[in-house]
Amino acid sequence: MKIIPIANSTIALSECEETEGTVTKQLLPLTRREFLSGTGILFGSIAMGSTLAALAPSPAWALELKTLSTAEGTTLMKMGRVLYPHAKLPDAVYALLAKDLDAGDAKTVAMLKDGIASLNKAAKGNFDNANDAAKLVAVKSIEGTPFFNAVRGKCITSLYDNDMAYAAFGYPGSSWDKGGYITRGFQDLKWLPEPSKEASPEPYMG
């Protein structure tokens, strides 16, 4: 499992308060731009008071891209949401997808940039601004391409192997360090008839 490796944002919360997970461009603080030297930056915030907010280093998050532009990173995030749509997952999780793809070699980066361009083309110019149905059509039209396969494959590890996804879907991860489930509900299901003691003997408790 990955712990959210997103940098702790120094952006004041009030400056990027929003509800949809995106921030309008004019609110970008210039100082932040100077501080980050990458090719692009993705950022947003996790709704205060949600269970996921407790996991993040800060409700506001920012992610520096090494090779992709902000627009390209944003497109990958949105493509991730079309492939694996989860209202329960904040943009911060989809940003992990962009981050993990961004880590590739020059050949991969070129493939991603070309793929993003073809996705925009399939969405009649601008994938990000297309409506949900048009986004789905665009993604379907590139299914099976190396770009599609690379993004879809990366989604499996980027989206589902991190602490926010664990929390959102109810998977606690490691259990040995908590003593397993022998005293923590491994047989607490009550909505079906109990098996007989022959079929399922009592646990040995010493």
The two three-digit tokens of residue 144, written as one number = 């099976």
CA distance linking residue 105 with residue 111, whole number of Å? 10
The two three-digit tokens of residue 160, written as one number = 């589902």
Residue (57 or 172) nearer to another protein, CB: 172
Question: Which residues are registered as beta bridge partners of 8?
Answer: 61
Give the shortest CB-136-to-another protein separation in angstroms: 8
Question: Given the rule CB under 8 A, which residues bind another protein?
Answer: 1, 83-86, 88, 152, 155-157, 159-161, 165-166, 169-177, 179-182, 184-189, 191-195, 198-204
* Amino acid identity, position 15: E
Residue (35 or 181) nearer to another protein, CB: 181
Residue (37 or 174) nearer to another protein, CB: 174
Residue 28 DSSP symbol: -
Residue (16 or 155) nearer to another protein, CB: 155
The two three-digit tokens of residue 80, written as one number = 């991730």
Q: Hey, CA dihedral for 125, 128, 132, 135, is it positive or negative?
A: positive
Give the shortest CB-119-to-another protein separation in angstroms: 15
In the chain, beta strands by DSSP E: 7-8, 40-45, 60-65
CA distance linking residue 157 with residue 106, whole number of Å? 21
Residue (57 or 195) nearer to another protein, CB: 195
Residue (106 or 199) nearer to another protein, CB: 199
Q: Where are the alpha helices (DSSP H) in 84-145?
A: 91-102, 106-122, 132-141
Tokens 């360090």 correspond to: 177
CA distance linking residue 196 with residue 206, whole number of Å? 21
Give the shortest CB-164-to-another protein separation in angstroms: 11
